Structure formats: structure tokens, C-alpha cells
Structure 1
Amino acid sequence: MSKVTRLRTIRIAERPNLIWVEIETDEGLTGLGESFRGAQAVEAVLHEQVAPWLIGKDSRRIEQVSRQLMTPYLGFHSASAEVRAASAVDIALWDLAGQRHGIPVHEAMGGAVRTEVRAYNTCAGYAYNTSGGRRATSGQEEAAGPYDDQVAFMKDAGKLAESLLSEGYTAMKIWPLDIYAEASGGHLITLEDLKAGIEPFRKIRRAVGDGIEVMAELHSIWSSHAAIRICRALEDVGVFWAEDPIAKMDDARALADLRRQTRTPICGSETLGGAVPFRDLLAADALDMVMIDLAWCGGLTEGRKIAALAEVYAKPLAPHDCTGPVTLMAGLHLALHAPTAIFQEVVRATLATWYRDLVTDLPVLRNGMVQAPTAPGLGTKLQEAVRSRPDAVIRESAAP
């Protein structure tokens, strides 16, 4: 029957936002899932709400489980703790499905439409997003290593672009405007600050011309007026997209109004959970590109539905990763499977360092392209050493 017998959560103090879920079945298989942010809240949902219902259920009925977990009494249609918990479980169930049949997840979902997908490097540092909110830098900090790309883009974005091109990357994402939001709470950006925030993009163009695509991350911290001013300024530097330009990315009317007032393509949003907000944004003609985070939107099952919406609206898709290695692997499988996927986000700083300490396998990049995994399931597992760490918190729910 492939019955669920145990649900285990693992988190570590060093990466307090991350939580992993392992689901065991009576076949002797273990599926791996992951979510990010508010790990303790997600852990509580998993053991107090999800596990009592899930244990004993048939792990093959992924759609049934998704439907149950994605329609809680509260917390749906957002990246709530309930939806983050559902996302982790769903990813683990797809991992089980691939393992059960000896095929990669992208094949289990119906097959890949491509054997590789283009990577773009999010120019974060080694500890970015680790414990609290996103960390903005002024460029005056000392780099923690050769891939401390967030410090690098504030210091010399042109040199950073040259470094990325030398490693085969042909696209990059930066957020030099973030530091100017705090003064007004994101409601105003002065002309002086706007020009300073646009300068890193100009440095990239001066250094490498049109040889690299550049995305502008706006991190949902601006009001409509400021976002419009920023997006208009970005038109002159030819950014590939402006991501999450306004504070509430489920505000279809405000986002559509912004999109009408700029030629800069609008991308959104990793912050949304469930297919309905994406349906509303696409119906309002508010997006040019669709971005999803599988650890926040409902996992691969809901992610595939959002990808289908992107396809019927003829919009490109780009799975998000600036969080954890299991989400990255899941996003890659969807990017290989979804017809309109054009990118998989990666962070070279984490790929080169602490992601390797957590999981057995990571995506393979070749000439700026992420290669299709060939191992069954997601193609990765937690390193055994993670469980024996002194800062590990492990909790289990099992059948009586």
C-alpha cells in the first residue's frame, strides 16, 4: 500500500530558518522534503496537525494529500506555516514516488521537456537569509570569501559580472536599491538615491555590455509610486525583469497599474502560496514572468498547477532558490518538466559551501546550464552527519 508510517522533522541551530521533513513508508522508503522561514512554526504544524492525519495514509495519493493539506481552515492562499508544512510534505511524497519507480521526479511528473535549463546566479553571500530577514549591504563590508557576491555587487558590479561570465553564468540578479528603502519605509526614493541605486547596473553594462542578463530584485519593500519610479529608471539599463516590485505581491490591481506604466518586465512572486493568487495576477495582466518557490507555494503538486497557468497565459516560469538545497533540487525538476520554464535560480556561494555540508548531491552546472538529475526521486538525501550534529533538533511522529 505504500503506507506512511513515520514523519520526522530535522532542523539545526546554525540554519534556523531551514526545516527538513522525512516521510517513511512501510515499503522501507524515505522521502525528503524541505521548507524555510519560521521553522519552529512549521514543525508544530507538521507534528500537531499534519502527522495525525497523514500517518497511515497511502503515500502514492499525492494529489489527495495535497488537496487536504492545501485547504486548511486557516492559512490557505498564502505562504503560511500551514502551506509551508504542506509544501515540505508534498516534496517528500514526490521524492518517494520517484524512488518507488526508480525514476527522477521530472520523469515521474510526466517527463522532461528539456535536458538542461539555464541558471542565473542570485548574487547573495554565504550567510544571506540565514537567520532573519534579507540583509542589505552598503558595499563597505569586507567580503567573507571569493563568492560573497552581495558585497561584490555593491563594490564593483562590473567586476562581479566578469567573474560570473568567466564561470559560464550568463544571467545574474542584484538588489542595490534595497538600502534606500529604510529612510521612508519604502514609500519614497529620492532622485539622488535612485541614481546611486541604478549605478551598479550601469557598471555591469560598461564592463560586459550586453553579454549578461541582469535581473533587479526589489524584495517587496516599495510602495507603488516608488516602484514605478524605480522601474522606469531600470528601462535604460535593459534589465531582464524587476522582481517583486511592490510590498503586497497579491495586489493584482496595483501590480497591473505599475506594469502599464513601465517597459520593465515584471516578475512575481516567490512570496505567494497556492495557485489562486497567480491566477488572479495573470488574469489582471499584472505579470510578465512567473516565479514560484516550491517550499512556499504548496510543493511540486501546486507548483505544477501554477506552471500550467503560466503556460496557458504564455508566460515564462522561473523556480526560486535562495533558501535550501532540497528546494533547489525540487525546483530544478519542475524547471525541466514545465514547458515555459526558462531559468533555475542558484546561489554560487551556497552551492560552493554549506549546501554541500547538508545534502549528498547538488545540481550539476555545465557552461551556465543546470543538468537534469538522473537518480531516482529528487536525487539527493540529507547527509548522515546532519542528524548527529549537537545543534540538531529531531522530532518524530509515528504510528502507535
Structure 2
Amino acid sequence: MKITAIETLRTAEFANVLWVRVHTDAGVVGLGETFYVAGAVEAHLHDTLAGRLLGKDPLHIEALHREMLNLPMAQASTGVEYRAASAVDIALWDAFGKVCGQPVHQMLGGLCRPRQRIYNTCAGYGYVRSNDIKPVSTWNFDESAGPFEDLNGFMTRADALAESLLEQGITAMKIWPFDPAAIANDGVHITVDELKAALDPFERIRRAVGDRIEIMVEMHSLWNLPMAKRIARWLEPYAPTWLEDPIRMNSPQALAELARSTPTWICASETLGSRFPYKDMLDRDAMSVVMADLCWTGGLTEGRKIAALADTYHRPFAPHDCVGPVGFVAGIHASFSQPNTLIQESVRAFYTGWYRELVTVMPTIADGHVLPMEGPGLGTELQPAVFARSDLSVRRSEL
């Protein structure tokens, strides 16, 4: 079997999402995805990677993974090169599962549990749909889109939001109320009024539901180390589950210093590419929870190595999702196949909303858990309507 074409698809409306379809001479087509800088990733795929992939056996996944990243500019980052390789890698695993008639989680070693606990990242329907990737300006509130405008919810009525999640059996939520102050003050200071506003959601949640729900705190790498330490202390009375990416993920020493200063777990990081920077941070005891985004860090091939590395250091694995529907599905396959998966990220405004506009099958989520996908490969495809969209652009490199 040979790869005969690499096809990329993107739309003006969902400008951050790039899909990759790997075509073969056996008629099998693998679907992959990445998110952010879609135009640059598309150019790299066709201008650089296509020549390395066309004519190769799509089932030689490890060899192709190494080939895509054996470039002087493809180092340990989540830049264009890694995002492109991630999308192709996910597509190759999809094709592998289709050839064998098995779900990807089976190809990765099989189920480690019958259902996987999820948490809800409290984004809204319009969050990150625009091409603007600066925190706060991407929030795009849209209360008219449905009942799960959860980002505005955690900022204004966090108590009611926590109760709503518990009604659905979801017992963990992630919020980021410190972002506005970080943006306003370059991550070096917070005023008394800003601090009160940031702590208000935690007060409301604990007052309304007590400890029946876990709270994860997303910090988007916006703070410097002294302020991150202060914020960690201010949050301790509310017993958050973890602080995620509190500082820039480029200094294992600084992150380790933060980790030593607080009993709260440090979760890191979807911003790391490949297993090597994870090892640097694990060697420093800088992280308690290992998070990876499979669309950015090297796909399923690298993702399972990162999970295994975390397990070697007796750390839990927690796949990231606040991107596109194919990446969400890929993360779920990885979650089920790894013995040390703690919890799977999800966004109910996405999987009940715009994800369904784009793919044919969404995972079943019930009682705060996701169930395994059942079809061959990833178990989902692009909706036929995607191919008929007037804002769709397609680029193809052929053998």
C-alpha cells in the first residue's frame, strides 16, 4: 500500500482548524487534524512533507513519524512542523485502524477501562473560533447559541454553572478567571479589585456545592514566577485540583521552584512538543500531571510515548482538548489506551455544538464519562456538508 495524495482542508469560518486526509492506492483515506496557524501548517505539509510521504507505506507509522520530524527546524516545540506531523500521524493511525477493521484504541493496545472520566473546560460556543489566539480576546460570548455558554457562566454565575455540571454527572471543571488581570498587567501584578474578581468564582462554587466538584485552574502561561506563587497561595483555601501552565513552559527550574512552593498539583503542558521537554521537567519534579495535545505534540505516536514517560515517573496523564473535533476523538482513543490516564478534557459547548457541524460521529458522553468509540480507525469522518461549504479551501499534493 502506498500514499498517493496528501489533501488539506480548511474553512474561513473555522479558521483555526486544518484537516489532513491521507489517500492511499488501496482506497483507504486517513483523517487527521491540527489547530492554530492553519495556513502555515498547510504550506509546510505541501511544500516540505508531501515529498517525504508520497509513495511511502502508510502503515510504517514510526518510520514516517521520524521522517517528518527529521528536519533541522523540527525541534521540541509545538510549532508548525510539529502541528503538521501531528495531523499526518493521526491520519495514519486512522488509516491503520481502517485497514485492520479496529478502533484506534485497539491498535494502541486496547481498552484500559470501560469508560473514562471527563472534566468540563468552561469555554463557550464561540471560544477560539476566530483566528485571534490572544487570551481574553478569543472569548466571543454567544448566549444565544445554547445553554452552555460556560465561559461567561464561570465569570458571572459560577455557582449555577457548577450545579448545572453536577446535574449532568460532571464532577470537575476548569476555569481561568485570572486571565484578564494577567493581560491587563503583563503578568506581573494584580490589583485588589482584580483579585476579588478572580477569586469570586471559587467563592461561589465552594459556597454552592462544597467539594462535590473539582476545580482546575488554567493560567495560560501568562504569569511570572513570583506572581504565580502568590496566586497559588491565594487559591489554596479553595483546594483546586491543579494549576495548569502557570508560567511559560520554557524553564524546568522555574516550574520546579513553583511546584515546591505549593501543595497544589502543577499540570503541564499542551505547549510542549515531543517527549524530551517533558523528561526535562519530570527530572526536576516540576509537574504532577502530564498533559499533552495530540494535535500539537507529535500525534498519537508521540502522545503514547509521553504517556509512557509519565507512567515511568509515576505521574498521571491527562490529554488536552480545546481545539477541533478530530483532535478530541484522537485524545479519547489515547485516554482509553493508556493505563495512567487520570481524566479527559472536554468542552460541552463544543461537543454539543460546532463539533457536530463538522464530523459525522461524536463520542457518547454520559454521567460525567466518555465511552469508547466503536468504528474502525478514529470512528468519525468529516460531514458531507463540509465538502460543499462555500468557504472551503482544498489543497492537494499527489504522487
**TM-score of the aligned structures, taking structure 2 as reference length:** 0.97
Shift in Å, 1:297: 0.3
Looking at structure 2, the residues matched to 320 and 114 of structure 1 have their Cα atoms a distance apart, in angstroms, of 19
Structure 1 letter corresponding to 2:81: E
Looking at structure 2, the residues matched to 326 and 91 of structure 1 have their Cα atoms a distance apart, in angstroms, of 9
Cross-structure match for 1:310: 310
Looking at structure 2, the residues matched to 141 and 338 of structure 1 have their Cα atoms a distance apart, in angstroms, of 35
1:152–1:160 Cα contact (<8 Å) kept: yes
Looking at structure 2, the residues matched to 304 and 344 of structure 1 have their Cα atoms a distance apart, in angstroms, of 14
Q: What SS does the aligned partner of 2:339 have?
A: coil
Cross-structure match for 1:231: 232
Cross-structure match for 1:169: 170
Looking at structure 2, the residues matched to 85 and 279 of structure 1 have their Cα atoms a distance apart, in angstroms, of 23
Cross-structure match for 1:98: 97
Looking at structure 1, the residues matched to 139 and 345 of structure 2 have their Cα atoms a distance apart, in angstroms, of 23
Cross-structure match for 1:326: 326
1:7–1:397 Cα contact (<8 Å) kept: yes
1:137–1:179 Cα contact (<8 Å) kept: no
Shift in Å, 1:140: 12
Q: What SS does the aligned partner of 1:181 have?
A: helix
Flag structure 2 segments of 5+ consecutive residues without an equivalent: none
Query: How do residues 84-233 of structure 1 correspond to structure 2 at under 5 angstroms?
Result: 84-131=83-130, 132-136=132-136, 143-144=143-144, 145-233=146-234
Structure 2 letter corresponding to 1:300: L
CA deviation profile, 1:287-326 (whole Å, cap 9, x unmatched): 0101100000000000011001110111111111111000
Structure 2 letter corresponding to 1:20: W
Looking at structure 2, the residues matched to 237 and 222 of structure 1 have their Cα atoms a distance apart, in angstroms, of 20
Shift in Å, 1:264: 1.4
Structure 2 letter corresponding to 1:348: R
- When residues 138 and 302 of structure 1 are mapped into structure 2, their CA distance, relative to the original with a 3 A threshold, is closer
Tell me if 1:337 matches 2:340. no
Shift in Å, 1:194: 2.3
Looking at structure 1, the residues matched to 290 and 109 of structure 2 have their Cα atoms a distance apart, in angstroms, of 21
Q: What SS does the aligned partner of 2:273 have?
A: coil
Cross-structure match for 2:47: 48
CA deviation profile, 1:43-96 (whole Å, cap 9, x unmatched): 000000111110000101000011111232113200010110000000000001
- When residues 158 and 395 of structure 1 are mapped into structure 2, their CA distance, relative to the original with a 3 A threshold, is same
Query: How do residues 5-44 of structure 1 correspond to structure 2 at under 5 angstroms?
Result: 5-44=4-43
Q: What SS does the aligned partner of 1:11 have?
A: strand
Cross-structure match for 1:256: 256
Tell me if 1:384 matches 2:384. yes
Looking at structure 2, the residues matched to 134 and 168 of structure 1 have their Cα atoms a distance apart, in angstroms, of 32
Q: What SS does the aligned partner of 1:16 have?
A: coil
Shift in Å, 1:141: 6.5
1:250–1:281 Cα contact (<8 Å) kept: no
CA deviation profile, 1:139-190 (whole Å, cap 9, x unmatched): 9977333111000111110110001111111111001111111232111223
Structure 1 letter corresponding to 2:391: D
Looking at structure 1, the residues matched to 291 and 107 of structure 2 have their Cα atoms a distance apart, in angstroms, of 22
Flag structure 1 segments of 5+ consecutive residues without an equivalent: none
Looking at structure 2, the residues matched to 77 and 236 of structure 1 have their Cα atoms a distance apart, in angstroms, of 36
Looking at structure 1, the residues matched to 194 and 170 of structure 2 have their Cα atoms a distance apart, in angstroms, of 29
2:125–2:142 Cα contact (<8 Å) kept: no
Looking at structure 2, the residues matched to 256 and 135 of structure 1 have their Cα atoms a distance apart, in angstroms, of 25
Looking at structure 1, the residues matched to 138 and 43 of structure 2 have their Cα atoms a distance apart, in angstroms, of 37
Looking at structure 1, the residues matched to 313 and 106 of structure 2 have their Cα atoms a distance apart, in angstroms, of 24
CA deviation profile, 1:337-380 (whole Å, cap 9, x unmatched): 11110111111011111100100011111211100111110010
Looking at structure 2, the residues matched to 338 and 251 of structure 1 have their Cα atoms a distance apart, in angstroms, of 27
Q: Which moved more, 1:358-367 or 1:67-76?
A: 67-76
Cross-structure match for 2:297: 297
Tell me if 1:351 matches 2:351. yes
Shift in Å, 1:238: 0.6
- When residues 32 and 188 of structure 1 are mapped into structure 2, their CA distance, relative to the original with a 3 A threshold, is same
Structure 1 letter corresponding to 2:194: D
Tell me if 1:272 matches 2:306. no
Q: What SS does the aligned partner of 1:222 have?
A: coil
Shift in Å, 1:195: 3.2
Cross-structure match for 1:79: 78
Shift in Å, 1:385: 1.1
Looking at structure 2, the residues matched to 217 and 255 of structure 1 have their Cα atoms a distance apart, in angstroms, of 15
Q: What SS does the aligned partner of 2:91 have?
A: helix
- When residues 149 and 134 of structure 1 are mapped into structure 2, their CA distance, relative to the original with a 3 A threshold, is farther
**TM-score of the aligned structures, taking structure 1 as reference length:** 0.97
1:138–1:154 Cα contact (<8 Å) kept: no
Please identify runs of 4+ aligned residues in structure 1 that moved more than 6 A: 137-142
- When residues 97 and 335 of structure 1 are mapped into structure 2, their CA distance, relative to the original with a 3 A threshold, is same
Looking at structure 2, the residues matched to 51 and 221 of structure 1 have their Cα atoms a distance apart, in angstroms, of 36
2:20–2:32 Cα contact (<8 Å) kept: yes
